[in-house]
């Protein structure tokens, strides 16, 4: 199946299974439909009046809000369309699998409010997380997203995942727009200053992060580097490995800070 054919196959499933998703991703089809309805309507004037009334309602809303939400909506739409293109290029995905994947991605992005914001709700006020994408570094030509779990001030699951998704969005945006020969990125967890007490508190968080990375980014992750991961983490890692049936945990590489620094390329 050719790539564009596969993409059409994906839209076939989306249209059949989830019309809201379809209308979100292909709004031009709604406009077309509206024209048909308008032409077919006997009381053409009535339709026209109704449309005018709607325009008035829309105008009454605060203009700024409309602009912003439209902008975010459009950004989200573009992101999802690019992900559909990406998964369509992977030979092991059928249109039906891609539909399911995209569904999972969209449900989670809405859960973490990604389509309504462009920065982490907490760090917006005060920087509490240590997650960041730095576009000046690469490992093996792949962009990297960093986290230093020992230095984070706030570790509530919800906002941490929200922050991670936003940074990964920036990274994926670069993968798509900058001409680097990759579809993947790596994640680096720097375990400097990490204590046993922190690890025990972070267990639930580690599970949540693994779930997100596994469900939303499995095919985009090259490696997950754990820098100077303390020995006390070993049992937790093997437990997670079993929970996730190896999958995302297969991509984990434990590495020393010294060896890691040898891998970095500065662009
Ligand atoms: Zn944050």
The mean pLDDT of the chain is: 87
Query: What's the Rg (C-alpha) of the chain?
Result: 22
Q: Is 92 left (phi over 0), alpha (psi -120 to 50) or beta?
A: alpha
Give residues with Cβ within 8 angstroms of 186, minimum separation 6. 139, 140, 142, 143, 144, 145, 221, 222, 223, 224, 225
pLDDT at 245 (0 to 100)? 84
DSSP 8-state class, residue 221:
E
Q: Could you tell me what percent of the chain has a pLDDT over 90?
A: 69
pLDDT at 200 (0 to 100)? 92
CA 130 to centroid of ligand 1, rounded, Å: 8
Band (pLDDT 50/70/90 cuts) for residue 28 is confident
Q: Is the pLDDT of residue 174 over 70?
A: yes
How many Cβ atoms are within 10 Å of 138's Cβ, its own excluded? Answer: 19
Band (pLDDT 50/70/90 cuts) for residue 152 is confident
Band (pLDDT 50/70/90 cuts) for residue 155 is confident
Instruction: Give the CA distances from residue 148 to residues 18, 189, 191, 226, in Å, rounded to whole numbers and listed in that order.
Output: 39, 6, 6, 10
CA 115 to centroid of ligand 1, rounded, Å: 16
Band (pLDDT 50/70/90 cuts) for residue 182 is confident
Tokens read off for 68: 């912003």
Nearest to 114 by CA among 80, 63, 152: 80
65-81 pLDDT per residue, tens? 667 788 888 999 999 99
Tokens read off for 189: 């967890």
Fold assignment, 132-266: Phosphatidylinositol Transfer Protein Sec14p (3.40.525)
33-60 pLDDT per residue, tens? 555 555 555 555 555 665 565 555 555 4
Boundaries of CATH 3.40.525.10 in the chain? 132-266
CA 105 to centroid of ligand 1, rounded, Å: 20
Task: Please name the residue ranges forming H helices in 26-177.
Answer: 27-40, 44-60, 63-88, 95-111, 157-177
CA 61 to centroid of ligand 1, rounded, Å: 30
Nearest to 164 by CA among 199, 215, 200, 93: 215
pLDDT at 16 (0 to 100)? 96
CA 159 to centroid of ligand 1, rounded, Å: 6
Give residues with Cβ within 8 angstroms of 208, minimum separation 6. 157, 160, 161
195-218 pLDDT per residue, tens? 999 999 999 999 999 999 999 999
């Amino acid at each position: 199946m050719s790539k564009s054919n596969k993409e059409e196959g994906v839209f076939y499933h989306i249209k059949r299974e989830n019309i809201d998703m379809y209308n979100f991703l292909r709004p031009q089809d709604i406009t077309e439909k509206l024209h048909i309805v308008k032409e077919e309507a006997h009381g053409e004037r009535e339709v026209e009046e109704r449309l005018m009334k709607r325009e008035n309602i829309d105008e009454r809303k605060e203009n700024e809000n409309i602009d912003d939400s439209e902008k975010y909506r459009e950004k989200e739409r573009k992101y999802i369309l690019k992900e559909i293109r990406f998964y369509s290029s992977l030979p092991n995905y059928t249109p039906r699998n891609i539909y399911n994947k995209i569904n999972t991605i969209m449900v989670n992005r809405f859960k973490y409010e990604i389509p309504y914001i462009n920065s982490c709700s907490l760090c917006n006020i005060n920087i509490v997380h240590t997650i960041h994408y730095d576009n000046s570094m690469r490992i093996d030509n792949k962009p990297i997203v960093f986290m230093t779990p020992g230095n984070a001030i706030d570790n509530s699951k919800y906002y941490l995942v929200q922050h991670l998704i936003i940074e990964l969005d920036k990274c994926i945006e670069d993968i798509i727009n900058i001409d680097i020969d990759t579809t993947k990125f790596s994640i680096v967890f720097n375990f400097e200053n990490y204590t046993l007490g922190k690890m025990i508190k972070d267990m639930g968080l580690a599970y949540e992060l693994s779930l997100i990375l596994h469900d939303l980014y499995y095919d985009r992750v090259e490696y997950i580097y754990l820098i100077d991961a303390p020995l006390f983490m070993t049992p937790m890692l093997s437990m997670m490995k079993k929970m996730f049936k190896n999958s995302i945990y297969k991509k984990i590489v434990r590495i020393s800070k010294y060896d890691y620094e040898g891998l970095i390329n500065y662009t």
